[in-house]
Structure 1
Amino acid sequence: MGTSDTKKQLELKALQFFARNDFERSNLNDIAKALGVTKGAIYHYFSSKEDLFLAAVNQLLDMMMDMFGQGLPRDIPINILLDNLFHMEEMMVEVSRSLGLEEGLNEYKNILYLFLTGIKKFPDLQERIDALYSGFTDSLEDLLNAGIVRGEIRRDVDSKAIAYEITAFYEGALLLGAFSNKKDYIVLGPRVCQSIWERIAVESVAAIEGRK
């Protein structure tokens, strides 16, 4: 395994560690033991606990930006895509598992903790996190605009406002779930998206049903 691969593996293992353990109370001895390496091995690649944490969170941001940066697919109906948005936490878990992170990132509250701790310790991370959410909202707006062009969505719909509404609800629902351990968004999310779809579709489901 090359130097860059070893460094990346340490970052991924540290990401899992920091997702489950309080940053302030952890020391390099604890971290090295959990990662299965010596403290000297950590110092070979990172100058401090803070340096390791920053690299680990940037690794998470890279992973999420890769996932969202590809954009949302435009070749299936908009209402189906809206419904699929509420399976993204499952997608994040699968991505984490593919990287060998079976534990630690399987709940949104752990990701939220990493982001909040990161912003507190490293204010410059705010710009990258903002870019992540802006990219997600922009992808939604592009998706809605594509739906307008295809004739699925009314032309008078404000796609930017709707994209923001969907993003705000999605993040808000996950945030509530993180604090309460309830997963209401799994059931209510698709219903909310259905309600949004009824407002923006050229022809609502209710209208179609009324003709039958």
Structure 2
Amino acid sequence: MNSTNKKEQIEIQALIFFARNDYEGSSLNDIAKALNVTKGAIYHYFDGKADLFKSSILRFLDTMDYMLNGTLPRDIPFKVLLENLFKMEEMVAEIGRETGMGEIMENYESFLYLYIAGVKKFPELRIRMEKLYYGFRSNLVNLMNAAIVKGEIQKDTDTEAVAFEITAFYEGALLLGALSNQKDYIELGPRVCSLIWERIAEKGRPENPNEYIQEKANE
């Protein structure tokens, strides 16, 4: 295993350990023992527990960034994108398997509490989270602007406001689901997105995205 992969493996396993035991309840000795590595191996890559914690959180945020922004499709009608925003279980599971973060991604509540506690100690983590959601919102704005050009949504749509609305609702729904252990967003999320679409859709265009694609291809 090369040095980069070893560092990533330590970050991922440490993140799982921190999520189970929280930051204050974790010692470097306990972490090294749980990860089956020496403290020297940890110090080879990190300055100490604080540096390991921050790197582990940032590793997860990078994964979330990839999930929200790196996999956001840009070649489908905006309505289809909205319809699929809350159908993420399979994608989350796949990314969890690819990155080794399945346990954290399936238990978002654990990471959420860990992140909130971490921000109090390390404010720079907030900056990374803000960058993540700003990127997501900016991507939505760009996709809606492209949809206006394609005639999918109304020309006078305030794309920045709608993108903020979608982002706030999306994160709020996941937050509520994590804190209450309710998964209402799985059912209600698509319905809310449908209401947003009805408000911004260009009137008189085909409701079926496939019909719209065929119509544009025939022009």
- Please confirm whether the aligned pair reaches a TM-score higher than 0.5, indicating the same fold: yes
User: What one-letter code is carried by the residue in structure 2 that aligns with 1:53?
Assistant: F
How many residue pairs were aligned? 208
Gap change, CA 1:147 and 1:170, over 3 Å in 2: same
1:141 aligns with 2:124: no
Gap change, CA 1:208 and 1:50, over 3 Å in 2: closer
User: What one-letter code is carried by the residue in structure 1 that aligns with 2:126?
Assistant: Q
Structure 2 contact 95–102 (Cα < 8 Å) conserved: no
> Which piece of structure 1 moves more, 147-156 or 63-72?
63-72
Shift of residue 204 of structure 1? Answer: 7.3
1:91 aligns with 2:91: yes
1:178 aligns with 2:178: yes
Structure 1 contact 74–146 (Cα < 8 Å) conserved: no
1:46-98 Cα distance to aligned partner (Å, 9 max, x none)? 22111110111121122223334436323212111012111346533421221
Q: Distance in 2 between matches of 1:52 and 1:62?
A: 15
User: 5+ unaligned residues in a row in structure 1: which ranges?
Assistant: none
User: What one-letter code is carried by the residue in structure 1 that aligns with 2:17?
Assistant: F
Q: Distance in 2 between matches of 1:126 and 1:89?
A: 26
User: What one-letter code is carried by the residue in structure 2 that aligns with 1:137?
Assistant: R
Q: Distance in 2 between matches of 1:23 and 1:143?
A: 39
Q: Distance in 2 between matches of 1:53 and 1:81?
A: 34
Quote the RMSD (CA, aligned, Å).
2.2
Shift of residue 141 of structure 1? Answer: 0.9
Q: Distance in 2 between matches of 1:200 and 1:183?
A: 27
Instruction: Please show how residues 125-204 of structure 1 align to structure 2 within 5 Å.
Output: 125-203=125-203
Gap change, CA 1:208 and 1:178, over 3 Å in 2: closer
Tell me the equivalent position of 2:55. Answer: 55
1:102 aligns with 2:137: no
1:121 aligns with 2:101: no
Shift of residue 22 of structure 1? Answer: 1.3
Q: Distance in 2 between matches of 1:190 and 1:69?
A: 19
User: What one-letter code is carried by the residue in structure 1 that aligns with 2:120?
Assistant: K
Q: Distance in 2 between matches of 1:91 and 1:121?
A: 32
Shift of residue 185 of structure 1? Answer: 0.2
Q: Distance in 1 between matches of 2:73 and 2:2?
A: 35
Structure 1 contact 198–204 (Cα < 8 Å) conserved: no
Tell me the equivalent position of 2:217. Answer: none
1:148-187 Cα distance to aligned partner (Å, 9 max, x none)? 1110101111010000001111111111111110000000
Q: Distance in 2 between matches of 1:194 and 1:160?
A: 18
1:127-146 Cα distance to aligned partner (Å, 9 max, x none)? 11111000000111111111
Shift of residue 29 of structure 1? Answer: 2.1
Gap change, CA 1:173 and 1:67, over 3 Å in 2: closer
Shift of residue 190 of structure 1? Answer: 0.2
TM-score calculated relative to the size of structure 2 = 0.86
User: What one-letter code is carried by the residue in structure 2 that aligns with 1:136?
Assistant: F
Task: Look up the SS of the partner of 1:87 in the other structure.
Answer: coil
Q: Distance in 2 between matches of 1:89 and 1:179?
A: 18
Q: Distance in 1 between matches of 2:119 and 2:35?
A: 24
> Which piece of structure 1 moves more, 99-108 or 169-178?
99-108
Task: Look up the SS of the partner of 2:37 in the other structure.
Answer: coil
